[in-house]
Amino acid sequence: MTSYDIVIVGGGPAGLAAAVAARDAGVESILIIERDKELGGILNQCIHNGFGLHTFKEELTGPEYAYRFEEQVLQRKIEYKLDTMVMDISHDKVVTAMNRTDGMFQIRAGAVILAMGCRERPRGALNIPGYRPAGIYSAGTAQRLVNIEGYMPGKEVVILGSGDIGLIMARRMTLEGAKVKVVAELMPFSGGLKRNIVQCLDDYGIPLKLSHTVVDIEGKERVKAVTIAEVGPDMKPIAGTEVRYTCDTLLLSTGLIPENELSRGCGVEMNPVTSGPFVNERLETSIPGVFACGNVLHVHDLVDFVSEEAARAGANAARYVQEGEGAGEAGEEVRLVATDGARYTVPSTIHVNRMDDLLTVRFRVGAVFKDSYVSVYLDDERVQHMKKRIMAPGEMEQVILQKKQLAARPGLKTVTIKIEAQ
């Protein structure tokens, strides 16, 4: 059995940034394991621009952004294995993987960084009535077909769900000559970034129908038509609101799910809200030495934030390897509580003694809030009260916690983040 100080599962933006940060923190023995035939992950098929404004202070396409990090990995001579599937991670950090060259093999890791990304919610999870003909794709599959394989999924398109990939594919299909007839969204708000609604739908005259869903799919061999209807507050279709659209393609953009089968198999404690692991201020899971970052932890809106978070995970994994499990006196554990509109926080616990001087806590809201405040309470005392003009579930929010402020309160039990009207 071979050994590495750090094994990173996933060679996408999170895995690459974590590897670079771990090497820069002084760890030489690092291995990235990627199941695809090249590094870069999902960025390779995201040929639109808008990436890198925070990280590189310029606008890049997805492949360009990935290439910047791939170059850094190559410059540092960090090892990686492609076309390799991780089958299991044991509780004591033995990674079982397989590929065509080596067969099945095991690696003993000093620390493991989970960076597997996320997957799209499939049709089977949506309970859409109607036949199961050809022409129904997830938006990400359609994106790969168009941008990498060079195939057009269809010419007349209906899109269910207004996640960012669906919005971007509405524009992409239009530019390739297809007619996108409508984007239907079950919720009363969009699941994507505001800028994508403007640039991908409004600029091309594509209608977005909120509080609508697909109630029927016609066609046995190939999709012929899709019927959508308005839904009420109970999320059930309202009779008499049905509208039928002839089409040959239905794209599904109904949410992303962190890819955490390996995490669960390892015994990591999971957050039911994010479908990702619970982590502390070091992005360490409930298993010492197993860290998580990027979309496997919670679904991000910007890849720049994925890279920033992954760099923290890489540096902390390096510290764990160098100093051992007991590195730094942990002290009392402080719980982070999300309530009154805030859905979750990452991290979910903090050891004040071990945190950096400033700690970024990210979260999402559960509905659209206008002219509201993000408030932070240390136990029962409010210490931050920030006015926000608008907050939506499609965009991540953040607060910054100061170590000196928390350390000045011995016996602190909870940090509460909530949305308040005034």
Q: Which two tokens stand for residue 202?
A: 């409004």
What is the C-alpha separation between 64 and 52, in angstroms, rounded?
9
Please tell me the pTM assigned to this model. Answer: 0.94
Residue 326 — very low, low, confident or very high, per pLDDT cuts 50/70/90? low
CA 113 and chain centroid, separation? 15
Res. 328: pLDDT tops 60: no
Contacts of 174 (CB under 8 A, 6+ apart): 180, 204, 206
Distance CA(276)–CA(175), nearest Å, equals 35
pLDDT of 403 higher than 80? yes
Identify the three-state secondary structure at position 70: helix
Q: Using one digit for the tens of pLDDT, what is the confidence trace for 299-308?
A: 998 999 999 9
Residues in a beta bridge with 270: 277
Using CA atoms, how far apart are residues 210 and 251, in angstroms rounded to an integer? 16
pLDDT of 130:
79
Cβ–Cβ under 8 Å, residues 291 and 114: yes
The b-or-e profile of 335-354 (16+ CB within 10 A means b, else e) is ebbbeebbebbbbbbbbbeb
Calpha distance 30→416 (Å, rounded):
37
Q: Dump pLDDT digits (tens) for 242-276.
A: 999 999 999 999 889 999 999 999 999 999 999 99
Assess whether pLDDT exceeds 90 at residue 406: yes
